[in-house]
Amino acid sequence: MKEIVVATKNAGKVAELAAALAPLQIAVKSVSDYGAIEEPEETGTTFTDNALLKARYYAQATGRACLADDSGLEADGLGGEPGVYSARFAGPGATDRANNEKLLAELNARPGAARTARFRCVLAFCDTNGQVLTADGTCEGIIIEEGQGSGGFGYDPLFFMPEYRKTLAEMTVAEKNAVSHRGRAVQVMVKQLAGYFS
């Protein structure tokens, strides 16, 4: 069976990608399945830079085709922050809770600041021969003042999508995959991978 390694140890992200890639009938593995691989330093200044860096690094480290993503939140009231620093907004190794608290504190410290925001995702696929595919997606929403919902991960409980009257954390995995930044990037990537694997 064809196999792709997803360049993350985040179980939520692996589950989302596995569900989205299911139509391709590909075995989806996590880098955790390959032992203690040291994480690469994300030195890129854009989501594309970091996604490509991770895809190439883990393809070499595992000897398997690899799918990596770099994604984050761009809050308009914070000039596009946290952006590529979303996972470590509250510092290295920050928890989702710490990042969410910092986001709210920064927005609340700027009365009248716009609470509009978007999630942006870039997916990069790299095989063991160095062939690369990329796809990106965005979704627009509003940062609410208190988290709602217990699903998802990261900033999902604070990211409200008015047209659906829900936060990403209140959606089922299927609902989220249909409308999220990662879901939209995956839809583009699935089409590319279908061609690649055929």
Q: Write down the pLDDT at residue 65.
A: 96
pTM for this model (two decimals): 0.85
To the question of whether residue 80 is assigned a binding role by annotation, the answer is no
Q: What is the CATH number of the domain that holds 24?
A: 3.90.950.10
pLDDT at 1 over 70: no
Where in the sequence numbering do the catalytic residues fall? 70
Q: Are 161 and 167 in contact (CB under 8 A)?
A: yes
To the question of whether residue 13 is assigned a binding role by annotation, the answer is yes
Q: Write down the pLDDT at residue 183.
A: 84
To the question of whether residue 102 is assigned a binding role by annotation, the answer is no
Cα(147)–Cα(35) distance, rounded to whole angstroms? 35
To the question of whether residue 12 is assigned a binding role by annotation, the answer is yes
Q: Write down the pLDDT at residue 91.
A: 95
Mean confidence (pLDDT) of the chain: 93
**Which range (5-19, 109-123, 132-146, 147-161) has the least confidence?**
5-19
Count of structural domains, the chain? 1
CA 166 to chain centre: 19
Confidence of residue 16 (pLDDT cuts 50, 70, 90): confident
To the question of whether residue 8 is assigned a binding role by annotation, the answer is yes
pLDDT at 169 over 80: yes
Cα(132)–Cα(163) distance, rounded to whole angstroms? 35
Query: Which residue's entry shows tokens 């985040």?
Result: 10
Distances (CA, A) of 53 to 44, 56, 61, 68, 69: 8, 5, 12, 9, 10
Q: Of 13, 11, 10, 12, give the one whose Cα is nearest residue 186.
A: 13
Helices (H), the chain: 11-21, 47-62, 96-108, 173-179, 181-197
pLDDT at 12 over 80: no
pLDDT tens, residue by residue, 29-86: 999 999 889 989 888 999 999 999 999 999 999 999 999 999 999 999 999 999 999 9
Instruction: Identify the domain containing residue 163 by its residue range.
Output: 2-197
